[in-house]
Amino acid sequence: MEMKNIIQKETLANETEIWIAGSHINSTFLPYYQHSPAVAAILIMAYLIVFLSCMAGNALVCMVVVNNERMRTVTNFFILNLAISDLLVGIFCVPPTLMDNLITGWPFNQVICTMSGLVQGMSISASVFTLVAIAMDRFHCIVLPFRERLSLVKAVVIIVVVWLLAIAIMCPSAIMLTVGRVEDHYMVRSDGKNTTYPLYACYEAWSDSSMRKVYTTILFVHIYLVPFMLILFMYGSICLKLCRSTAPITQNLTCPVKANGTPKKRIKVIKMLVLVALLFMISWLPLWTLMLLVDYNNLDDDHLDLLTGYFFPFAHWLAFSNSSINPIIYGYYNENFRRGFQTAFKFHLCSQEKVHQETYSEQS
């Protein structure tokens, strides 16, 4: 799922004719930096905000669920898995993508090229499959309340299967991703000396371009379209059930009132989960649209330049921002998460105050 910005951009620069030792060759020169300082500063600030909020928020979610026994429910285990996948996005995807959008060419080695594409695809796939698992759990509990509910052990097994499926579906991309030099293409750095550098690209080296189209379509269907339809169906069924039901639906053996709270509280949880799923689908839709647009349309150079220079950086930012918004949603809708966040902040402040007091006593 790594964007082939460099491969697309190599057709965009003006070709310059050079004579070397009597031989006439054509070489293409590209600016080292893709954007002006003002645009680059905006991109850096936007990506930095997403990175910091993603790391802090999702680390807090993990800490709250792991350290609080009352939070160890099936739904919260799935939310924990979402937080872990979002952390991976923050670590492995945000920084390399920012650098790739700022600098012409791939500035990293083969390992980072492979890891960035693989982890990004794995994290997205794991998030989508986890959202489907959450919807299925809520669907069985509310629409089919007399069926046996998921246990924590089964939830852990499902999470393991989710990651195995995510790895399996992204293996072809990881195998094909490679770093290669683009022949007769150079980057020019405006440092007063016009220093030139060879141009390298991180791309999927498919032997047939039609195979890339097929693979992109398979990814779109399996980790966006079908999951979206399943989630839409299950949450739609849940909403219909809640609207038609006149009696409390939690009073049964499989969904006891103590485990799930009052119907009003459960409806609030459903709203939270629906919002998480909806925002995920909306956040990733522009990036999927651009990927399909590039693969299936013979765009001219001007359109490619516009897409890779501005639309792709924004689409990546919007997709990655979803990884930072989820903890805010949990804190707003879920009282247990809100209390856990407050406890974590109080513990952090008390620890800092204790360290300050110990330092002061040692100095005195």
Residue 31: count other Cβ atoms within 10 Å of its Cβ.
13
Domains and CATH numbers, the chain: 5-357 (1.20.1070.10)
Tell me which residue has tokens 């393991």: 160
Tell me which residue has tokens 């006891």: 256
Structure tokens at 340: 């856990």
Strand spans (E) along 21-120: 23-31
How many CA atoms, within 13 angstroms, populate the side-chain half-sphere of residue 37?
1
Residue 9, pLDDT score = 40
Residue 360, pLDDT score = 44
Residue 224: count other Cβ atoms within 10 Å of its Cβ.
19
Report whether 155 contacts 78 (CB < 8 A): yes
- Going by the DSSP 8-state scheme, the letter that residue 193 receives in this structure is S
Residue 8, pLDDT score = 41
Residue 316, pLDDT score = 93
Report whether 30 contacts 104 (CB < 8 A): yes
For residue 174, give the amino acid letter. Answer: A
Residue 345, pLDDT score = 67
How many angstroms separate the Cα of 131 from the Cα of each of 8, 224, 281? 33, 11, 10
CA atoms of 34 and 351, how far apart (whole Å): 45
* Residue 184: its H or E element: strand 177-189
Structure tokens at 176: 């094909």
pTM of the model: 0.79
- Going by the DSSP 8-state scheme, the letter that residue 249 receives in this structure is T
How many CA atoms, within 13 angstroms, populate the side-chain half-sphere of residue 203?
19
293 Cβ neighbours under 8 A, 6+ residues apart: 299, 307
- Going by the DSSP 8-state scheme, the letter that residue 147 receives in this structure is S
Q: Closest Cα to residue 125, out of 91, 93, 170, 88?
A: 170
Largest CA distance in the chain: 90
Residue 33, pLDDT score = 85
What string of pLDDT tens digits covers the 364 residues of the chain? Answer: 554 443 444 333 343 434 334 443 577 888 888 888 999 999 999 999 999 999 999 999 999 888 888 888 888 899 999 999 999 989 888 998 898 888 888 888 899 889 888 988 899 899 889 989 988 988 888 888 777 778 889 999 999 999 999 999 999 999 999 999 888 888 888 766 777 888 888 888 888 878 988 999 999 999 999 999 999 899 888 888 887 764 454 444 345 444 444 567 677 778 888 888 899 889 999 999 998 888 888 777 777 778 888 899 999 999 999 889 988 888 778 777 878 777 776 655 555 555 455 544 555 4
Dihedral over Cα of 33, 37, 43, 49: its sign: positive
Residue 276, pLDDT score = 87
How many angstroms separate the Cα of 10 from the Cα of each of 7, 86, 104? 5, 32, 9
Distance between start and end Cα atoms, the chain? 59
* Residue 254: its H or E element: none
CA atoms of 217 and 295, how far apart (whole Å): 9
Residue 348, pLDDT score = 54
- Going by the DSSP 8-state scheme, the letter that residue 71 receives in this structure is G
Residue 353, pLDDT score = 52
Q: What are phi and psi of 206, to 5 degrees?
A: -75, 140
